Structure 1
Amino acid sequence: MRQQSNKERAKVSEQAEIFLGNDLDGNRQALALSRANRHGLIAGATGTGKTVTLQGMAESFSAHGVPVFVADVKGDLSGIAMPGSPTFKHADKLESRAKELGMEDYAYSDNSVVFWDLYGKNGHPIRTTVSEMGPLLLSRLLDLNDTQEGVLQIVFRYADENELLLLDFEDLRAMLAWAYDNAKELSGAYGNVSKQSVGAIQRQLLSFESQGADNFFGEPALEIDDFLTVDEQGRGVVNVLAAEQLMRSPKLYATFLLWLLAELFETLPEVGDPEKPKLVFFFDEAHLLFDDAPDALQETIERVVRLIRSKGVGVFFVTQNPIDIPEEIAGQLGNRVQHALRAFTPRDKRAIKAAAETFRINPDLDVEQAITELKVGEALVSTLDEEGAPTIVQRTLIKPPRSRLGPLTVKERAIIQSVSPFDGKYDEEVNRESAEEVLLKKAQDAAKTAEEVEKKGREEVAKQPRKTPSMWEKAGKGAARAAAGSLASIAVATALGKKSSANPLRTGATAFVRNILGGLMR
């Protein structure tokens, strides 16, 4: 962080830093772009200004040509796509704060924004394949136990070895159905696979599908490079994930963002410590990532967060309570913006004490007390300086954003969506041949082969001479004898001149039919 007086501010180059605000002495507080990939934390109770801080930081990163990804969990971040206005709510407070901070160039402006949505309603749909998600994260989504997770890993292994593409939920469902019918075969090759475990996974899959999770799996799958774009003015694109509906399935939300981080880690090349990040990732409601996370998953998160900075990605966790972040990960967050916390419960008091202890001591500031006294739009700020060391914590007036505070209208969002550079790329789902179709074709081929074998067998049997007459032969011979007898009786009666009211031919036909049926029943 650089700390300079108002007199020196005009001499400061803003090309390499993100301005956050001024401390109470008027000194500039800023985040060095070259240290933004060392991750950060934005924390504070509801209503203390976290969203405004996030919005202002996203604007600044974008202005420096750094793409941004942010989850809009409440719907109010969509306004970042439109310039603010003197007629909008809180405009007077924004302009007053800008004047207070000496922002002489403050003016309302928009940002280059692309909207995304797992459900495809308020943005481009984001999809991945079941194979790319992998058994570990999918087990987390389905809340499987260790045994069931092991079975799922075997199913994935078999699919990989037999080139069965697992693209969507239909493929996974078909693969599980096959595993259920062939549990013995799988057990012999890979280890114990019980039908009970497969059935439990199928039930969890059905339950999770009912929450709309199947929308996330399929093709075309997201290309990570589409998150790393700049517009024609050189501004980094702000990728806004519409997460209002997604937040109703918090486990899916957390797992999706973890998958996204993992994809960035796997896709991007090593760059060390660049002059500025390739992408800044804001993870709102970050506590959801760690709630009930098994040890294996938490270790994966820690490893990804630790190593992804070498790929030029900065991750900022946004949460209400700083103790929501495990210590192993919190220790990697060098840039911190702490808004007010309220000491209502013993847990709140522990959180305040823990937050105060994470800052580099300022002898002129009682940090623990200041955390409870911060006003809306104020925060305790400490960042990494150009040498990578944390700066002394300062009570800071946070700068106002230049874009609109509050959500877009439906019409405004539709207009922005219509001019998106990815219009038409992800909107229509593609369903190519994968595991479901392959397994179905195999089942159909097997049934056809069995039918052909059975038919051939019947033909071969029919060619062989029978030692005893068949039922049909018996019935036919019996009926013929009975019919012959009936016709002979009619002839005799006629010769004797007997009178009858019945038609001889009709009576004979009736007897013939009756005897045919009787022969069949013998």
Structure 2
Amino acid sequence: MANDEQLEKIANGYKFDGEVVRLGVAMSEGNPQPEVPVSLPMSMMNRHGLVAGATGTGKTKTLQSMAEQLSAKGVPVFLADVKGDLSGLAEAGESNDKLTKRSQAIGQDWNGQSFPTEFYSLGGDGAGVPIRATIHSFGPILLSRVMDLNETQESSLQLVFHYADQHELELFNLADLRAVIQFLTSDEGKEALAELGGLSKATAGVILRKIVGLEADGMDKFFGEPEFDTQEILRTAQDGRGIISALELSHLQSKPQLFSTFLMWLLADLFEELPEVGDVDKPKLVFFLDEAHLLFNGASKAFLESVTQTVRLIRSKGVGIFFITQTPKDVPGDVLGQLANRVQHALRAFTPEDAKALKATVSTFPKSSYDLEELLTSAGIGEAVVTVMTDTGAPSPVAWTRMFAPESRMAPASASTIDQIVQNSDLAPKYSKVVDSYSAFEKLSEKEAGQAEAREQEPAQAKQQPSEDQQRARDEAKQEKDEDRERRKRNDAMMRVGTNVASQLGRELVRGIFGNSRGRRRKGGLFG
């Protein structure tokens, strides 16, 4: 399917000056051509990409091979391990006759090796260092996605966050958010609710029931402290290789909106924290987002706009994002248009809908002499149609490619290996123990208790005024209680240096693309 002229065009189109990730070699008439390598320039990795294909066609192995090469070149990698297969990166691969024959045919100098890997889990649900986010940092747009709110309810939730920001009610966990909404819907909070204007008591009640539902489903453990510092995924190992951060999600396949939204929180937080670097010789981080269709299914307009903006702007921070899914149709057009690097594995065309998806996929590739509809339905496992952005900014020729095999274990790592890595992790002591700081829940509980106490005392006070000694004793007790409360606040602040979200009274905290925010961010900059 590729003549000599086409092979020469491919060979010339994939010659790059700088470092590259070797994807595989070109194919001709069903045979690999080791002298015609197909690569992806490291300097173009932050132009983002798409790895697509039907189930069982080799997408995961392509992702694994790319992650290995990036790590070997000192680039940190973050990947979502939805099925548990990618934990094998932590163990060396084992050769066999089939693998040896394939490697020799494509000219791959295959050597089984392991790579520095850090395992994470959302809220400690599974093996790995727990990743949590505070409700405040997560923000109203992302939280609305997890709660499955409609656009009206999402706007109302933004007003709740606005109120909490204005009144120094720190939202660390779901209990804090629930306490704020319960206050706004109570008799004591009706004036505050009226001041918010666009938030009705009925809508606030719906949001409150959604929160209670999340807590009933056990999702409260994903929100809270200590909040994960996203800078942790930018680390390199002592030998200079990039650390591969693998977020285990196999325990959360029944909660797709939760884990896909958490991944966007990680990206949004990185965007807010990383400095501008412009074009770089190699990326600061490459982020692989598996099962990408879960991110977009049923998403609100505000959420999709925020995803699009994040993808568009984060490349200037030196971060590359690769979406992994079945067809390009799974990704919205505004996002797809920003994915310059394409690795398309085989597709199936068993139904009219499949045929429609096939035609749409073909239309996303540059013109070539291949019959892409035929090629994409006949390509073998571990083969793909590739086009990348060259180091001159132009698309490379379309190349039918036999992909390189990963050198790490092409199956899940053993439980003992994962346990050992987690136990020896420097991050485990930092994030394993849950912290419950003084925040909105405690503040509003104390306020409610104080109001109840005042109501109880009113009848007695009406009958008898306290003596001078009694009043002095009460004043001293109140002062002691206030001082104790202030000590608690200071202790919490010292434990949470750099992450306390308390702001000056009356000033709303700065929020980013998704309405997400950390207390340590300074006002100013792109979103200030």
Contact 2:151-2:300 at 8 Å conserved across structures? no
SS across alignment from 1:18 = strand
What corresponds to 1:28 in structure 2?
Answer: 37
Counterpart CA distance in 2 for 1:282 and 1:37 is: 12
Structure 1 residue ranges (4+ consecutive) displaced by more than 6 angstroms after TM superposition? 12-15
The size of the alignment, in residue pairs, is 449
Letter in 2 for 1:264: L
Counterpart CA distance in 1 for 2:164 and 2:416 is: 45
Q: 1:372 aligns with which of 368, 377, 380?
A: 377
Letter in 2 for 1:447: A
Matched, 1:108 2:108: no
Structure 1, unmatched stretches of 5+, are 462-522
What corresponds to 1:259 in structure 2?
Answer: 265
Structure 2, unmatched stretches of 5+, are 1-5, 28-32, 467-528
Q: 1:72 aligns with which of 73, 78, 81?
A: 81
Counterpart CA distance in 2 for 1:219 and 1:178 is: 23
SS across alignment from 2:50 = strand
Counterpart CA distance in 1 for 2:171 and 2:7 is: 56
What corresponds to 1:241 in structure 2?
Answer: 247
Counterpart CA distance in 2 for 1:282 and 1:166 is: 30
What corresponds to 1:50 in structure 2?
Answer: 59
* Deviations, residues 62-99 of structure 1 (Å, cap 9, x unaligned): 1111100111111111111110123xxxx333322221
TM-score normalised over the length of structure 1: 0.83
Matched, 1:387 2:396: no
SS across alignment from 1:245 = helix
State the Cα distance separating 1:148 from its structure 2 match.
2.4
Within 5 Å, which residues of 2 pair with 1:83-232? 83-86=92-95, 91-104=96-109, 106-120=110-124, 121-181=126-186, 182=188, 184-232=190-238
Counterpart CA distance in 2 for 1:386 and 1:150 is: 43
State the Cα distance separating 1:348 from its structure 2 match.
1.1
State the Cα distance separating 1:200 from its structure 2 match.
0.9
Within 5 Å, which residues of 2 pair with 1:331-346? 331-346=337-352
Letter in 1 for 2:242: G
1:348–1:382 Cα change, 3 Å: same
Contact 2:89-2:408 at 8 Å conserved across structures? yes
State the Cα distance separating 1:460 from its structure 2 match.
5.3
Counterpart CA distance in 2 for 1:334 and 1:84 is: 31
* Deviations, residues 126-178 of structure 1 (Å, cap 9, x unaligned): 01110111111111221223332233222211111111100001111111111
What corresponds to 1:426 in structure 2?
Answer: 431
Deviates more, 1:36-45 or 1:441-450: 441-450
Counterpart CA distance in 1 for 2:147 and 2:338 is: 29
Counterpart CA distance in 2 for 1:316 and 1:156 is: 32
Matched, 1:351 2:351: no
Matched, 1:458 2:471: no
SS across alignment from 1:269 = coil
What corresponds to 1:17 in structure 2?
Answer: 20
Letter in 1 for 2:459: E
Larger Rg: 1 or 2?
Answer: 1
Counterpart CA distance in 2 for 1:385 and 1:375 is: 26
Counterpart CA distance in 2 for 1:14 and 1:292 is: 43
Counterpart CA distance in 1 for 2:311 and 2:74 is: 23
Matched, 1:59 2:68: yes
Within 5 Å, which residues of 2 pair with 1:311-326? 311-326=317-332
* Deviations, residues 347-368 of structure 1 (Å, cap 9, x unaligned): 21121112112222222x2112
Letter in 1 for 2:407: R
Contact 1:183-1:193 at 8 Å conserved across structures? no
State the Cα distance separating 1:267 from its structure 2 match.
1.0
State the Cα distance separating 1:441 from its structure 2 match.
1.1
Instruction: Provide the alpha-carbon RMSD of the alignment.
Output: 2.0
Within 5 Å, which residues of 2 pair with 1:397-408? 397-408=402-413
Counterpart CA distance in 1 for 2:312 and 2:130 is: 29
Counterpart CA distance in 1 for 2:217 and 2:403 is: 39
* Deviations, residues 16-74 of structure 1 (Å, cap 9, x unaligned): 11000000133100000000000000000000000000100000111111100111111
What corresponds to 2:499 in structure 1?
Answer: none
Letter in 2 for 1:112: P
Contact 1:77-1:406 at 8 Å conserved across structures? yes
- Percent identity over the alignment is 46
* Deviations, residues 481-522 of structure 1 (Å, cap 9, x unaligned): xxxxxxxxxxxxxxxxxxxxxxxxxxxxxxxxxxxxxxxxxx
Letter in 1 for 2:171: L
Contact 2:38-2:401 at 8 Å conserved across structures? yes
Contact 2:123-2:223 at 8 Å conserved across structures? no
State the Cα distance separating 1:288 from its structure 2 match.
0.8
Contact 2:120-2:246 at 8 Å conserved across structures? yes
Deviates more, 1:247-256 or 1:175-184: 175-184
Letter in 1 for 2:120: W
TM-score normalised over the length of structure 2: 0.82
State the Cα distance separating 1:13 from its structure 2 match.
8.9
Matched, 1:272 2:275: no
Contact 1:4-1:28 at 8 Å conserved across structures? no
Letter in 1 for 2:51: I
Contact 2:175-2:441 at 8 Å conserved across structures? yes
State the Cα distance separating 1:183 from its structure 2 match.
5.0
Within 5 Å, which residues of 2 pair with 1:291-310? 291-310=297-316
Counterpart CA distance in 1 for 2:404 and 2:410 is: 13
Counterpart CA distance in 2 for 1:15 and 1:212 is: 48
